[in-house]
């Protein structure tokens, strides 16, 4: 072996030894330090997780406490609502009896006044008696509405569904409401349906709905106005429509108008004559029959069309 080969082999050996020493030092010191750093980071991470879990546990406990308070508050609200409904029902029932007595005695006095024809004070007395009758009628209507509302809220608003002729029902209601319409010079137009339509529903409650819609139309229509009632049958359901030329309904009130105690600001004079319960009760009645109720209007001064549907089967 020549001297150059020997030196080359010796150099390679030295390089290999240095590489091994570098690997050993790196493994012993650098990797050990990296492992310590990783272990420390892992420990910090686990500690952060533990802290977050503790915070989350505290939030969960707080949320559970709030849910429990909300549940207790809801129970209390339901209890108070039941008490209010019962109070409304009891008050309405108890007030109807003395109101009926006032009505009865007033009617007797009016008949006696008409018989004796007392010219000395008959006119003023007659006016007073008429005012008493009107007031008791209004109070009786309010009591009936309050009783219906209390039954609705207590879940006792049941329907007695029996088959009847819708044509005959509409004719009866129109004849009854025509008296009030004539006093205002309002013309009621009933568009007759060509065939007799039988529906299975609560006749009294459906007549209550139509009476309410007609009464409102008469109340809000101007002197000498016109109201048109019609119905048609399509695709297994009856649709009733009542159109008037009254003040109309603004778009923002189309949904609110069926809420309890809501009263329109369109006509404040007519507003004083009601309590905002009739349309809410009408909606409950129609929905209890599986139908829908609504109103359409082009805007103020354009009149309105109230409608409802009833499934025939």
The answer to whether 191 and 228 are in contact (CB under 8 A) is: yes
Would 37 be classed as within a structural domain?
no
Residue 6 above 70 pLDDT?
A: no
Within 10 A of 186 (CB to CB), how many other CB atoms are there? 22
The answer to whether 92 and 146 are in contact (CB under 8 A) is: yes
Residue 72 above 60 pLDDT?
A: yes
Would 113 be classed as within a structural domain?
no
Within 10 A of 233 (CB to CB), how many other CB atoms are there? 15
Bin 301: left if φ > 0, else alpha if -120 < ψ < 50, else beta.
left
What backbone phi and psi angles, to 5 degrees, belong to 266? -65, -45
What's the rounded mean pLDDT across residues 27-56? 79
Would 17 be classed as within a structural domain?
no
Between 16 and 282, the more confident residue is 282
Task: Using alpha carbons, select from 230, 226, 205, 208 the residue that is nearest to residue 217.
Answer: 226
Would 243 be classed as within a structural domain?
yes
What CA–CA distance (Å, rounded) separates 169 from 206? 9
The answer to whether 309 and 285 are in contact (CB under 8 A) is: no
3-state secondary structure of 247: coil
Residue-level pLDDT at 89: 61
Query: Of the given ranges (67-71, 196-200, 205-209), which has the lowest mean pLDDT?
Result: 67-71
Using 50, 70 and 90 to split pLDDT, how confident is the model at 251? Answer: confident
The answer to whether 230 and 189 are in contact (CB under 8 A) is: no
Q: Residue 253 sits in a domain of what CATH number?
A: 3.30.565.10
Would 180 be classed as within a structural domain?
yes
Residue-level pLDDT at 283: 92
Between 285 and 23, the more confident residue is 285
Residue 139 above 90 pLDDT?
A: no
Length of the chain: 313
User: For residue 222, what are its two tokens?
Assistant: 């101007």
What CA–CA distance (Å, rounded) separates 291 from 285? 9
> Model confidence over 46-56: pLDDT tens digits?
888 888 888 88
What's the rounded mean pLDDT across residues 74-84? 70
> Model confidence over 233-250: pLDDT tens digits?
998 999 999 999 888 888
Percent over 70 (pLDDT), the chain = 70
**Alpha-carbon distances of 127 from 95, 100, 122, 134, rounded to whole Å:** 24, 19, 8, 11
Residue-level pLDDT at 13: 74
Residue-level pLDDT at 53: 85
Would 128 be classed as within a structural domain?
no
What CA–CA distance (Å, rounded) separates 271 from 273? 5
Between 275 and 311, the more confident residue is 311
What CA–CA distance (Å, rounded) separates 16 from 59? 62
- Residue linked to tokens 């009786």: 140
The average confidence (pLDDT) of the chain is 79
> Model confidence over 140-152: pLDDT tens digits?
666 676 777 767 7
Give residue 290's domain range: 162-311
Would 221 be classed as within a structural domain?
yes
What CA–CA distance (Å, rounded) separates 90 from 93? 5
pTM: 0.60
What domain count does the chain have? 1
> Model confidence over 173-185: pLDDT tens digits?
999 898 888 888 9
Query: Of the given ranges (25-39, 62-76, 287-301), which has the lowest mean pLDDT?
Result: 25-39
Would 129 be classed as within a structural domain?
no
What backbone phi and psi angles, to 5 degrees, belong to 222? -75, 165
Integer-rounded Cα radius of gyration of the chain: 41
**Helix spans in the chain (H):** 3-25, 31-116, 122-153, 166-183, 203-220, 268-271, 278-288
Of 31-35, 38-42, 88-92, 107-111, where does the model show the most confidence?
Answer: 38-42
Bin 276: left if φ > 0, else alpha if -120 < ψ < 50, else beta.
left
């Amino acid at each position: 072996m020549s001297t150059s080969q020997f030196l080359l082999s010796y150099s390679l050996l030295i390089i290999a030894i240095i590489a091994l020493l570098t690997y050993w030092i790196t493994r012993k010191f650098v990797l050990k330090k990296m492992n310590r750093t990783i272990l420390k980071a892992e420990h910090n991470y686990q500690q952060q997780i533990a802290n977050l879990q503790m915070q989350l546990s505290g939030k969960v406990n707080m949320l559970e406490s709030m849910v429990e308070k909300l549940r207790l508050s809801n129970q209390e609200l339901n209890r108070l609502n039941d008490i209010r409904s019962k109070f409304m029902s009891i008050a309405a029932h108890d007030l109807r009896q003395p109101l009926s007595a006032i009505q009865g005695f007033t009617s007797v006095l009016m008949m006696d006044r008409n018989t004796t024809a007392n010219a000395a004070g008959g006119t003023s007395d007659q006016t007073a008696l008429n005012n008493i009758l009107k007031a008791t009628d209004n109070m009786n209507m309010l009591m009936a509405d309050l009783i219906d509302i209390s039954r609705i809220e207590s879940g006792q608003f049941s329907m007695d569904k029996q088959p009847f002729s819708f044509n005959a029902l509409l004719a009866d209601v129109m004849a009854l409401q025509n008296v009030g319409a004539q006093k205002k010079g309002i013309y009621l137009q009933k568009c007759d349906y060509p065939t007799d339509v039988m529906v299975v529903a609560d006749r009294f409650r459906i007549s209550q709905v139509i009476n309410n819609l007609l009464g409102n139309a008469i109340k809000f229509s101007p002197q000498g106005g016109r109201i048109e009632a019609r119905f048609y049958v399509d695709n297994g359901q009856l649709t009733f429509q009542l159109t008037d030329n009254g003040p109309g309904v603004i778009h923002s009130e189309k949904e609110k108008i069926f809420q309890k105690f809501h009263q329109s600001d369109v006509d404040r004079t007519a507003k004083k004559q009601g309590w905002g319960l009739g349309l809410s009760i009408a909606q409950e009645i129609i929905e209890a029959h599986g139908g829908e109720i609504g109103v359409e209007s082009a805007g103020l001064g354009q009149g309105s069309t109230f409608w409802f549907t009833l499934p025939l089967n």
